[in-house]
Amino acid sequence: MTLPEILTPGRLLAGAVTAAAISLWLLLPRGRESGVARWLGILLGIAALAGLACAGRRLGGLGEEAVFLTVSLVAVVSGAATVLTRSPVYSAIWFAMCLLGVAGVLLVLGAQFLGVATIVVYAGAILVMFLFVLMLAQPAGLAPYDRVSNEPFLSAVTAAVLLGLLTLSIGRLSAEPAAPLAAEPAVTVAADPLAENHVARLGAELFGRHLVSVEAAGVLLLVALIGSIAVVSRSESAGLEDAR
Amino acid sequence: MPVSTPTLQALVPALPLAAAILTMLLGRRLGHRAHLPAVFGIAGAAVAAVMLLLSTHAIATHEIASHGADAGHGDPHSAAAAFQTAKRFDSPATLWHWATIDEAIVPSPAATPPGTPLSAPNAGGSAAAIPFSIPIQLRLDPLTATMLALVTCVGLLVAIYSIGYMSHDPDYARFFSLVALFVFSMTMLVSATNFLVVYVFWEAVGACSYLLIGFWFRKPEAARAAKKAFLVNRVGDFGLAIAVFLIWMTYGTLNFHDVTLADGSLQPGVLGVTRLEEPGRIVGGAIGTVICLCLLLAACGKSAQAPLHVWLPDAMEGPTPASSLIHAATMVTAGIYLVARCAPLFEACPGALVAVSLVGAVTALLAGLIATVQNDLKRVLAYSTISQLGYMFVSLGTGTLLGFTAAIFHLVTHAFFKALLFMGAGSVMHSMGGVIDMRRFGGLRRIMPITAATFLVGSLALAGVPPFAGFFSKDEILASLHAKAFPGGHDGHHEPSTVATVLQPVGFSARLAANPTNTPATNWLDGLDRPTVWRAIWWMAILTAGLTAFYTFRAVFMTFSGPERVPEEAAGHDHAHGGSGPHESPPVMTIPLCILAAASAVSGWWLFSTHALSDFLAVTPSLAAPAVAATAVPHAFHVDIAIQGTLAAAIGIAVAAIGHLGRRSDGPQMERFLGPLEWLFANRFFIDQLYSAFVVKPLEALAFVAAAFDRFVIDGTVDAVGRLPVAAGSLVRGLQSGLVQRYALAGASGVLLIVLALFWRLRG
Amino acid sequence: MMPATLLGMLAAAGMPADGLTVNGLLVGAMLFALGLVGILTRRNLIVMFLCAELMLQGVSVSLVAWSRHHGDWGGQMLVIFVLTVAACEAAIALVLVLGAFARTGRLDSQAWQSLREDNLPRAVDHALPPIDAAAASWPKLTPAGVLPETDEDELLEREHV
């Protein structure tokens, strides 16, 4: 019995999902630290990634493949580290790393503007805010609630099964030819990451067809701004009362 | 005529209805003028009704003369001429169509062949889809016109009288609104030309009577009496409902009159002239008898006939004007009206006719006996009303044209003198500070001379003393009864003994004899239609006549003769408005008394001598039907019958005079005179106790059992079902941890499970 | 032979989709699943929000992949709005987290469980082994004044005041 006969695609997927579940369970904080569990988890995680990578496609060229593999590995591994690290400060830094990976993926996928915007908005603004809050709130970094998880096993199984289902359905969907959504697509996205005038065309689309949505988003931002200020002032006064 | 007849017809019920609504809405604002809408509304209705009566009379007289001439008979009052005239009255005025159904499945749209058993599917032909609706129509014929005029005129007098009588009542407006509503319901009832509409207003009249009897609903006796009247009436209403259902199943229509359908075909009404023309189209036999007995049950409930008479004496708890309105003139005559209206149906069922007479005779005698020992003036009158209504039923049951017209004649005269007597009693009560027990006052003829005089006139009329109204109407009833009881006659004129023989000329009796649907029970009932039975009824009627005179004059003597005594309540009663002590009632009360007294005195003689009423009624479609008209006899005054009736009355008055004239009214004369019988009469033959023992108590026991069942079994089951979710919930309550992440996990895994299940299904 | 593409074999037939699209979708799915695990398990409120952002990133990647797949701008437009909404959400959520911290002195999501069923005991963590890290030496101060009154319930909620 040869390897391909044993490793049918279905079994491969099932194995990868199981490995992912066990790996997540082992790596999640569960109160007591154990070096064996950690290394076993890391190994299983690599196996799971490898298994799931088999569900991917070969791309046009080797260089392209290398670029995509790099950025996506950065994104996924640092995303896993964000979830699994005990210290929230490290979590936030891993998240920043993940964002870089995601930006790379977006760039490869042909969304130049979004790739840059993700870095600017998240890494530049949101993440800094996170860290700021984190420093304010939790200087110790090793609180008991950072060392335990809520229902790690069930959650890991749920997420792994979800991942399996998504992989399966992505496979199903890709068999169908892509159908244009609109009867007459306004602008076709260039497959080339460095397509000419990408941002200009995106801007035209955003401020043409989606102008009302942009206005609504602007109003939403304003409301969120005012709302957060209102909540802050109230909770601070409440905190003052508590202090008294 | 400036106003068309249909407008007048519509005005008769519309004005009281408008008055009722106006008074209800504006009652508080109107204050002491709350009587104005009702009085003017009913007055307008009365004017319209009298105009209708006159125009109908003119038409009847004119047409019957022309038809009589056409037919070539010398006698303008021939049956054929009457029937030709009656056709003129078979087209009602339509207000609107209710419950219109384009394609209704009607059980037997064609005329039902006589004698088809009810059990046969679609008796009398295939069911067909025809347009159907309940027409709200107003009919106008002599019977309706008479009833309309009677109801509105008496209603008007009662309303005027109530202005004085009810003047101190805080619910002044409510009373007048109810009276107007009652007049509306009653006029609609007698104008209706469809059994379903009749049923609706039959109930409406019952509801008004409930509201009027229970007018002083804070008084427990009044509330109880209203409830009793309502419940006892329900028994009768049940009979009417069954009768309506049976009529629908048997005849396929509920209309009285013939209707021309959209496709031009003629749908014969139950009492339409087309059906009446061919007597074979009226269903007799078992079904016909059951229909008639159900109608009789309905009439018994409304007209307080045995065994459903028990509500009327208790109904005296209501205000006296309401008593006179409901119990003298209007509501209780609804039963008489119904039987007279359905005369052709009864005519086909001799057994049902005997049942009508027997019920009437038994009621008349029973109520007369009970009335002899009553000490409450209004209760004497109540029992007297029951007794007189029984008389009318006896008359209806004879099934002859004379009998039907005599019943209506007595109804009219009785309305006059009984309304008079009730109002007189009310006047006494008003003056005596609410005391109505005859043993507590006496010799009032000097204190209230007008009331005494008018009361005496009413009593003479009620007792049947010539030449007052009651004498003539009672004499006609006795004459019709005499003809049945002593066939062969006293004057030598031929009086057929049974309906079957009456109908011989039109080939009816052969069908009756061979009718396969007759059951042993109906055969037995039909078998009662023989002179022996009628003779028994005759003697009961004569005995009742004597009793009537006795108890009436006992009441008169106890109240108005003897030493003058007034109860202490009367003295304090009048201080509020400046008077002192017992007094004659105000003119607003005595004027109606005088009008009614005049009517009681002369109406009988006038109507009898001119035959105006009987000739007029004879052209009503129901009474001009060949089956009924064939029983007509020439008008005559039978001296021997009159002497018997008068003799009975005289003996009654004499006995009353011996016992009570000039004596103190609280003496023990009755007890000495009757002995143990007094105990029986005073307890009203224990009928109420029988009802209590055999109907009320078992029902209460049943209700108790049902309540227990409801509380323990049904509620228990419901409670158990209610505890089930609580028990199930306690199993999973531990999941409600308050931890947001557990909830999120449950949500995520739940969605996942659903997606998995979908995948599982789509896989295959 | 190792299958080059698993999905190529799973798919019954038909034109295979663009390789980048499928790979992008896969990356998006992984990020989403990781974020889900984090939000379900991690008790630190800040980390929970980081995980929520991670899920949003997964969704963004998927949307861009779909946008590419269909040759339509719609997906990218949606991502821009996702960014906007994420910014709003982060602003308000961080304010709320700050408020919560001001009340309890903890960033623990399990600090709030008063919506649990009556008569159900409060969920409490098992005893944890001590941390090996060198014990922090805090300065000792001389007690002065009187001890403030302590609220038993509040002590349960508060880690330090």
Strand partners, C44: C108
The answer to whether A88 contacts C73, with C-beta atoms less than 8 Å apart, is no
* Same domain assignment for residues B382 and B277: yes
> Quick one: B710 exposed, middle or buried, by C-beta within 10 A (0-12, 13-18, 19+)?
exposed
Q: Taking the CB of residue A139, how many other CB atoms lie within 10 A of it?
A: 8
Same structural domain, B701 and B657: no
| Chain A contact present for C25, CB below 8 A | yes
* CB pair distance less than 8 Å for C44 and A162: no
Question: What pLDDT does C60 receive?
Answer: 95
Tokens 């299904």 locate to B761
| CA-to-CA separations, B278 to B507, B624, B717, in angstroms, rounded | 10, 13, 61
What per-residue confidence (pLDDT) applies to B69? 66
For residue A218, what pLDDT is reported? 93
Contact A30, A149 (CB under 8 A): yes
Chain A contact partners (≥3 CB pairs within 8 A)? B, C
* Confidence (pLDDT) at B461: 92
Q: What is the pLDDT of residue C136?
A: 57
Please tell me the distance from the alpha carbon of residue C22 to that of residue B165, in angstroms, as a whole number.
99
Neighbours of B226 (CB within 10 A): 24
**CATH number listed for the domain at residues A9-181:** 1.20.120.1200
Q: Do B749 and A150 touch (CB under 8 A)?
A: no
Q: How many CB pairs under 8 A join A and B?
A: 23
Rounded to whole angstroms, the Cα distance separating A86 from A172 reads 37
Which residues of B are less than 8 Å from A168 in CB distance?
A: 759
| First and final C-alpha spacing in chain A | 76
Interface test with A, best of B759, B760, B761, B763 (most A CBs within 10 A): B759
Instruction: Give the tokens for residue B516.
Output: 């396969």
Please tell me if residue C144 touches chain B, with a CB cutoff of 8 Å. Answer: no
Shared-domain flag, residues B703 and B660: no
Q: Is the pLDDT of residue A18 over 50?
A: yes
Please, which residues 721-760 of chain B have a Cβ atom closer than 8 Å to chain A?
A: 739, 741-742, 745, 748-749, 752, 755-756, 759
- Assigned domain for C151 exists: no
Q: What is the 3-state secondary structure (H, E, C) of B66-134?
A: HHHHHHCCCCCCCHHHHHHHHHCCCCCEEEEEEEEEEEEEECCCCCCCCCCCCCCCCCCCCCEEEEEEE
Is B203 within the bounds of a domain? yes
Interface of B with C in 731-760 (CB under 8 A): 733-734, 736-741, 744-745, 748
Helix, coil or strand: residue A22: helix
Say what the pLDDT of residue B593 is. Answer: 87
Partner-chain contact B752 A165, CB within 8 Å = yes
Query: Are B749 and A165 a contacting pair at CB < 8 A?
Result: no
Bridge partner list, B442: B565
Using an 8 Å CB-CB cutoff, list chain B residues near A13. Answer: none
Residue of A110, B440, B379 whose CA lies nearest to C66:
A110
What is the structure's pLDDT at B200? 93
Residues linked to residue A147 through DSSP beta bridges, in sequence order? none
Domain annotation covers residue C64:
yes
Smallest Cβ–Cβ distance between B739 and the set C36, C39, C110 belongs to: C110
A125 to chain C: closest CA residue? C87
Q: Which residue of C has its CA nearest to A116?
A: C80
| Higher pLDDT pick, C11 / B70 | B70
How close does chain C come to B762, measured CA to CA in Å?
A: 14
Indicate yes or no: CB of C19 within 8 angstroms of CB of A58. Answer: yes
Contact residues, chain B, for A165 at CB < 8 Å: 752, 755-756, 759
Nearest chain C Cα distance for residue A195, angstroms: 13
Reference B267, options B279, B255, B283, B250; nearest CA is B255
**pLDDT tens digits, one per residue of A136-157:** 665 555 677 888 888 899 999 9
Contacts of B741 in chain C (CB under 8 A): 39-41, 43, 109-110
Identify the chains in contact with B, defined as 3+ C-beta pairs within 8 A: A, C
Euclidean distance between CA atoms B367 and B358, whole angstroms? 14
Cβ of C120 within 8 Å of Cβ of B734? The answer is yes
What pLDDT does C5 receive?
45
Cβ(A12)–Cβ(A44) below 8 Å: no
Burial class (CB in 10 A: 0-12, 13-18, 19+), C25: buried
- Let me know whether B720 and B674 are in one domain: no
Q: Contacts of residue B752 in chain A, CB cutoff 8 Å?
A: 158, 161-162, 165
Dump strand ranges (E) for B107-213: 128-138
Q: What is the ipTM of this complex?
A: 0.87
Report pLDDT digits (tens) over C61-103.
999 998 888 878 888 999 999 989 988 988 888 888 888 887 8
Q: Does the residue B114 lie in any domain?
A: no
Of A145, A164, A24, A155, nearest in space to A80 by CA? A24
Structure tokens at B484: 């049945």
Q: For B42, what's the count of Cα atoms within 13 Å in the CB-facing half-sphere?
A: 30
Contact assignment for A145 to C90 by CB distance below 8 Å: no
What are the chain B neighbours of A151 within 8 Å (beta carbons)?
741-742, 745
> What is the amino acid identity at position B342?
C
User: How many structural domains comprise chain C?
Assistant: 1
Residue A94, Cβ neighbours under 10 Å: how many? 22
For chain B, the residue count is 764
Does residue B113 form part of some domain? no
Q: Do B749 and A168 lie within an 8 Å CB cutoff?
A: no
Residues of A in contact with B739 (CB under 8 A): 150
Chains that touch C (3 or more CB pairs under 8 A): A, B
Domain assignment present for residue B62? The answer is no
What pLDDT sits at residue B2?
58
C138 falls within a domain: no
Query: Quick check: C10 contacting B, CB < 8 Å?
Result: no
List the domain range (segments joined by +) for residue B710: 692-763
- DSSP states along B507-535: T-HHHHHT-TT--HHHHHHHHT-SHHHHH
Q: Which of C20, C46, C99 comes nearest A134 by C-beta?
A: C46
Q: Which positions 88-127 of C are in contact with A (Cβ < 8 Å)?
A: 88-92, 94-99, 101-103, 106-110, 125-126
What three-state secondary structure class fits C66?
helix
Dmax (CA) of chain B: 112
Cross-chain Cβ contact B737/C113 below 8 Å: yes
Q: Which residue of B has its CA nearest to A153?
A: B745
- Give one word for B645, left, alpha or beta, with left for phi > 0 and alpha for psi -120 to 50: alpha
- The pair of structure tokens assigned to A229 is 């200020």
Residues of chain A numbered 122-141 and touching chain B (CB < 8 Å): none
Question: Which residue in the set C36, C43, C115 is minimally distant from B738, CB to CB?
Answer: C115
Interval A80-131: pLDDT, tens: 999 998 888 888 889 989 999 999 999 988 888 899 988 888 877 777 777 7
* Residue C105, domain CATH: 1.10.287.3510
Number of Cβ within a 10 Å radius of residue C98: 21
Q: What's the CA gap between B55 and B60, in Å, rounded?
A: 8
Record: contact A59-C35, CB cut-off 8 A: no
B737 vs C39, C43, C120: nearest CB: C120
- The CA–CA distances, whole Å, from B115 to B123, B124, B244, B518 equal 10, 9, 18, 9
Same domain, B719 and B666: no
Q: Within this chain, do residues B625 and B703 fall inside the same structural domain, yes or no?
A: no
Which residues in chain B are closer than 8 Å to A166, comparing Cβ atoms?
none
Give the sign of the dihedral formed by CA A169, CA A171, CA A175, CA A180: positive
Burial call B169-181: b when 16+ CB within 10 Å, e when fewer: eebbbbbbbbbbb
Mean pLDDT (chain C) is 78
The parent domain of residue C51 ranges over 18-110
CA distance B634 to B415: 26
Of B649, B682, B715, at which residue does a domain stop?
B682
CB contact under 8 A, C120 and B738: yes
B603, B654: one domain: yes
- Average pLDDT, stretch A211-239? 85
Return the H-helix or E-strand segment holding B266. Answer: strand B266-267
Kindly identify which residue of chain A lies nearest to residue C9, measuring between CA atoms: A9
For B252, phi then psi, to 5°, come to: 75, 10
**pLDDT at residue A142, rounded to an integer:** 67
**CB contact (8 A) between residue A158 and residue B752:** yes
- To the nearest whole Å, the CA of A169 is away from the closest chain B CA by 9
Contact state of A150 with B745 under an 8 Å Cβ cutoff: yes
Would you say residue C93 lies in a domain?
yes
- Interacting residues of B717 by C-beta distance below 8 A, sequence separation 6+: none
Q: Are residues B458 and B592 in the same domain?
A: yes
Residues of A in contact with B759 (CB under 8 A): 165, 168
- Contact between B374 and B380 under an 8 Å Cβ cutoff? The reply is yes
What chain C residue is nearest to B743 in terms of C-alpha separation?
C40
Do B506 and B476 belong together in one domain?
Answer: yes
Residues of A in contact with B745 (CB under 8 A): 150-151, 154-155, 158
CA distance A41 to chain B (A): 22
Domain count, chain B: 2
> Does one domain contain both B734 and B593?
no
C6: in domain: no
Note the pLDDT of residue B717. 92
List of chain B residues whose C-beta atoms are within 8 Å of the C-beta of residue A158:
745, 748-749, 752
Residue C132, pLDDT score: 59
Residue ranges of chain B whose pLDDT lies below 50: 1, 74, 109-125, 491-514, 573-579
Domain membership flag for residue B322: yes
Is C120's CB within 8 Å of B739's CB?
no
- Burial status of residue C14 (CB atoms within 10 A of its CB: 0-12, 13-18, 19 or more): exposed
Of B633, B658, B682, at which residue does a domain stop? B682
